[in-house]
């Protein structure tokens, strides 16, 4: 403050910050990791059995199989002066549980999950389905990225495109 005709700012909510400062709010991305396990069969009924086996390998097993999935949910926003948080990660966890994890944990993606109905449950399609469930519920927070691990070696990322 000073030099702009205003008296010096006395309000100090966070160190070196005052509401009149021209310094933009710092923007930070925060991430909550979630776990779930679920069964699926990756199978396209429009293709022959041979083609399905060739394309999807073990994930085409007729009698299902499971994965232990890891899901990282990233939200970006300004750091709130009052709390020092972008958002309460406990509140984010609750949204992710209600909108996604509770619907898919210990479930079968082919049979049990409303937002996966009629969709081949590859990791790509699962992560897009989860995004569509979460994104409106997180607003006005900005969901910027989902990273989902299907195995320790394979993961997918989605940013809403």
Catalytic residue positions, numbered: 59, 106, 150
CB closer to Ni ion, 87 vs 120: 120
Q: Three-class SS of residue 4?
A: coil
CB closer to Ni ion, 34 vs 59: 59
Number of residues counted as binding Ni ion (CB under 5 A): 1
CB atoms within 10 A of CB 118: 5
Gap between the Cα atoms of 132 and 145, Å rounded: 12
- Site map for Ni ion, 32-61, x if CB under 5 A? ---------------------------x--
Hunting for tokens 């949204």 — which residue is that? 95
CB of 130 to Ni ion, least distance (A): 16
Concatenating the DSSP letter of every residue in 31-42 gives: EEEEEEEEEE--
CB of 90 to Ni ion, least distance (A): 31
CB of 121 to Ni ion, least distance (A): 8
- For the record, the structure tokens of 58 come out as 């073990």
With binding defined as CB under 5 A, does residue 120 bind Ni ion?
no
CB closer to Ni ion, 59 vs 101: 59
In sequence order, the β-bridge partners of residue 75 are 30, 143
Decide the pairing of beta strands 155-158 and 107-108.
unpaired
Residues interacting with Ni ion, by CB under 5 A? 59
């Amino acid at each position: 403050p000073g030099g702009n005709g205003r008296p010096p700012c006395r309000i100090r909510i966070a160190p070196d910050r005052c509401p009149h400062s021209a310094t933009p709010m710092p923007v930070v991305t925060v991430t909550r990791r979630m776990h779930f396990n679920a069964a699926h069969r990756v199978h396209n009924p429009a293709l022959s059995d041979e083609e399905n086996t060739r394309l999807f390998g073990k994930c085409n097993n007729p009698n299902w199989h499971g994965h232990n999935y890891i899901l990282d949910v990233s939200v970006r926003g300004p750091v709130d002066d009052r709390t020092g948080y972008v958002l309460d990660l406990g509140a984010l966890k609750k949204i992710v549980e209600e909108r996604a994890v509770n619907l898919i944990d210990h479930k079968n993606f082919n049979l049990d999950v409303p937002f996966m109905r009629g969709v081949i449950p590859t990791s790509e399609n699962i992560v897009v389905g989860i995004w569509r469930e979460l994104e409106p519920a997180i607003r006005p927070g900005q969901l910027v990225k989902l990273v989902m691990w299907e195995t320790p070696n394979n993961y997918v990322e989605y940013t809403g495109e």
